[in-house]
Amino acid sequence: MTGFLARADEVLRARPAVLSGSGLRRRLVELLVLMAGCGFVYGVVMGGYGGGRWLQMLYSGLKVPLLIAATFLISLPSFFVFNTLLGLRRNFPTVLRALAATQAGLTIILASFAPLTAFWYASVGDYQAAKLFNLAMFGMASVTAQLVLKRFYRPLIAANPRHRLALRVWLVIYAFVGVQMGWVLRPFIGSPEMATRFFREGAWGNAYVEVFRAAARLISP
Amino acid sequence: MRHGFRRLDEILRGDATRMSRLHQGRIDVPIGGLSVVVTALAVIYGACMGSFSVIRTGGTEWMQVVGSAVKLPLLFFLTLVVTFPSLYVFNALVGSRLTLLSTLRLLIAMLGVILAVLASLGPIIVFFGISTTSYPFMKLLNVIVCTVSGLMGLAFLLRTLHRLVLVQDLDEAGSRADPGDGTDDAGGEDVTETGGGALDLVDGRTSQKASAVFKIWVVMFALVGAQMGWVLRPFIGSPSLPFAWFRGRESNFFVDVFDAIGRLFAGG
């Protein structure tokens, strides 16, 4: 447990030890375990809305790490090619560790918000408010994880300023995929009126098309 | 195959187009090996494009995946065949000393860059293809992805053309200054190499000769490519139409893209 916390602390402070040192595979596995563990903690709390729906809590606990891992894996191939084209291939092992550590960082931050979410559920019963609160928590965690990623990238940018452009490319790809992944993997909280399911039937669709639709309704109701 | 991928990797890293390897305006790329790799990558991306149709029809329309996987390599190679003769003629008229074979090598290398980017974006296309019901969205996403990869390929082309012109000028200057033994033909090494990637601009500027050739090529390639894509459609497969290898010849690429944008704003 103390080892676990020490690792989490290392990630949050963006210690150089996370990026350097030998044993790439072992480091990545450690980060993966950290990500899955912390993501599970937040997911369980997130699914705890309304109280007592154990299955929903388990599902949400599994879905948060799934959301982050799937987004990361789908975004990675194109980012690898872009890095190669930008001439940054030599640093890619370091880049990979920085990105993996950021995924772990994101879930650590989320897990630290879990008590806040539980407190919100306990004090405000409304389902819409619960959704908005979780959206805000995810938004805040993403923005905070940017800080961690920027710290990891600082030595890389110092070595080659072109990493700044690569970082921007990553954020665009990751956000584009992540938003849709979050939409597809609903429900995370679980409407109290509906039966508990891993995936909501008929929930597949496109987050961006929904946004366009909402915008169109706003312009011409 | 593995050798071909290694050569493609060299191109992507920029190793194949370093000044020191471009001597006498020759570019060292295996046409056959690289063509196989380009075809394989095009098949992968084509299959990714067709995935939308399979999911939308409830898993019955596998033919669209096959169709797109066959047609995507065709799209790129037919565009190359159609544009290559005029590209070479313009290239010669402008006074570049690229030989016929070097021009072909350069263009195949560019296809390699474009398809590497496209294939690497394939997982994103499949993910959206599986989870999206909106056909206009998929069309626009594919147009954007193809545009991004095309721009990467063109950036590679411009940089490499510029390097080639630079190397040739240096070679010429070197042989004029030292016509005797010719041992000093390594003039290219005087130019500082940044050690950067395939998209780096050596010297920080583009020669006029390179950019003149380049402008003509861009227009040719983009227009012929877009129209070739239109002739060979469907690649994604409209959910409301049955599978067909080819569609009628009505309308054109640009009209359809504007139409898709309109539909997306009208609610997908």
DSSP calls for A38-64: HHHHHHHHHTTTTS--HHHHHHHHHHH
**Rounded Cα–Cα distance for residues B33 and A155 (Å):** 38
Domain ranges for chain A: 2-219
The region of weakest confidence among A108-117, B10-19, B101-110, B161-170 is: B161-170
Which residues of chain A neighbour B158 with C-beta distances below 8 Å?
none
Q: Which amino acid makes up residue A39?
A: G
How confident is residue B22, by pLDDT bands cut at 50, 70 and 90?
Answer: confident
Q: How far is CA B248 from CA A206, A210, B138, B235, B256, in A?
A: 29, 32, 21, 14, 14
B130: three-class secondary structure by DSSP: helix
pLDDT in tens, B176-225: 655 444 333 333 333 444 456 777 766 655 567 667 777 888 888 888 88
Residue A104: pLDDT above 50?
Answer: yes
Please give the pLDDT value at position B181: 41
Are B267 and A82 a contacting pair at CB < 8 A? no
H/E stretch holding B164: helix B135-177
Q: What is the DSSP track for A142-154? A: HHHHHHHHHHHHH
Q: How far is CA B128 from CA A12, B46, B66, B86, in A?
A: 32, 15, 19, 38
Number of domains, chain B: 1
User: Is the minimum CB–CB distance between A82 and chain B shorter than 8 Å?
Assistant: yes
Which residues of chain A neighbour B198 with C-beta distances below 8 Å?
85, 87
Please give the pLDDT value at position B196: 62
Please give the pLDDT value at position B203: 60
Residue A193: pLDDT above 80?
Answer: no
Q: How far is A108 from chain B (nearest CA, A)?
A: 26
User: Is the minimum CB–CB distance between A81 and chain B shorter than 8 Å?
Assistant: yes
Query: Mean of the pLDDT values across residues B169-180?
Result: 63
Of B116, B119, B133, the CB nearest to A205: B133
How confident is residue A117, by pLDDT bands cut at 50, 70 and 90?
Answer: very high
Please give the pLDDT value at position A202: 63
**Rounded Cα–Cα distance for residues B91 and B99 (Å):** 9
B240 found inside a domain: yes
Of A80, A86, A212, the CB nearest to B268: A212
User: Is the minimum CB–CB distance between B95 and chain A shorter than 8 Å?
Assistant: no
Q: Which amino acid makes up residue A21?
A: G
Q: Does this complex have an ipTM over 0.95?
A: no
Q: Which of B13, B126, B131 to probe the A interface (max A CBs under 10 A)?
A: B131
User: Is the minimum CB–CB distance between B25 and chain A shorter than 8 Å?
Assistant: no
User: Is the minimum CB–CB distance between A186 and chain B shorter than 8 Å?
Assistant: no
Give the CA dihedral A105, A106, A112, A113, nearest 10 degrees.
170
Please give the pLDDT value at position B206: 58
B227 found inside a domain: yes
User: Is the minimum CB–CB distance between A173 and chain B shorter than 8 Å?
Assistant: yes
Which residues of chain B neighbour A75 with C-beta distances below 8 Å?
124
Q: What is the CA radius of gyration of chain A?
A: 19
H/E stretch holding B45: helix B31-56
Peptide bond into A187 cis (omega under 30): yes
The rounded mean pLDDT for chain A is 86
The three-point CA angle B14-B103-B8 to 5° equals 35
Of the candidates A30, A107, A27, the one whose C-alpha atom is nearest the C-alpha of residue A72 is A107
**Rounded Cα–Cα distance for residues A146 and B140 (Å):** 29
B181 found inside a domain: no
**Rounded Cα–Cα distance for residues A182 and A60 (Å):** 12
Looking at residue B60, the DSSP 8-state letter turns out to be -
Q: How many CB atoms lie within 10 A of CB A118?
A: 15
B184 found inside a domain: no
Half-sphere exposure of B232 (CA within 13 A, CB side): 22
- Percent of chain A with pLDDT strictly greater than 70: 95
pLDDT in tens, B212-261: 777 888 888 888 888 888 888 888 888 778 777 788 777 778 888 888 88
The rounded mean pLDDT for chain B is 80
Let me know: does B150 contact B225? Beta carbons within 8 Å. Answer: yes
Please give the pLDDT value at position A221: 60
Please give the pLDDT value at position B195: 53
Please give the pLDDT value at position B267: 65
How confident is residue A72, by pLDDT bands cut at 50, 70 and 90?
Answer: very high
Burial label for A136, CB within 10 Å (0-12, 13-18, 19+), is middle
Please give the pLDDT value at position B182: 37
Which residues of chain A neighbour B122 with C-beta distances below 8 Å?
77
B64 found inside a domain: yes
**Rounded Cα–Cα distance for residues B224 and B227 (Å):** 5
Residue predicted with more confidence, A122 or B177: A122
User: Residue B199 phi/psi, 5° resolution?
Assistant: -100, 10
Of the candidates A34, A167, A181, A175, the one whose C-alpha atom is nearest the C-alpha of residue A109 is A34
Residue in A closest to B149 by C-alpha: A82
Query: Mean of the pLDDT values across residues B18-40?
Result: 82
User: Residue A63 phi/psi, 5° resolution?
Assistant: -75, -30
Are B13 and A89 a contacting pair at CB < 8 A? yes
pLDDT in tens, B91-123: 787 777 778 888 899 899 999 999 999 999 999
Let me know: does B143 contact B39? Beta carbons within 8 Å. Answer: no
Are A85 and B152 a contacting pair at CB < 8 A? yes
Q: How far is CA B69 from the centre of its chain?
A: 17
Q: How far is B44 from chain A (nearest CA, A)?
A: 13
Cβ partners under 8 Å of residue A125, min gap 6: none
User: Is the minimum CB–CB distance between A86 and chain B shorter than 8 Å?
Assistant: yes
Which residues of chain B neighbour A183 with C-beta distances below 8 Å?
131
Are B264 and A212 a contacting pair at CB < 8 A? yes
Helices (H), chain A: 2-12, 16-19, 24-46, 54-85, 92-123, 127-159, 162-184, 207-219
Q: How far is CA A168 from CA A6, A174, B124, in A?
A: 30, 10, 18
B58: three-class secondary structure by DSSP: coil
Are B199 and A86 a contacting pair at CB < 8 A? yes
Cβ partners under 8 Å of residue A17, min gap 6: A10
Q: Domain range for residue B148?
A: 2-174+192-265
Let me know: does B72 contact B49? Beta carbons within 8 Å. Answer: yes
Query: Mean of the pLDDT values across residues B75-89?
Result: 89
User: Is the minimum CB–CB distance between A55 and chain B shorter than 8 Å?
Assistant: no
Q: How many residues are there in chain B?
A: 268
Residue in B closest to A204 by C-alpha: B131
Of A73, A81, A204, the CB nearest to B131: A204
Q: How many CB atoms lie within 10 A of CB B60?
A: 10
Of A86, A89, A206, the CB nearest to B132: A206
Residue in A closest to B121 by C-alpha: A78
Interface contacts A/B by beta carbons within 8 Å: 92
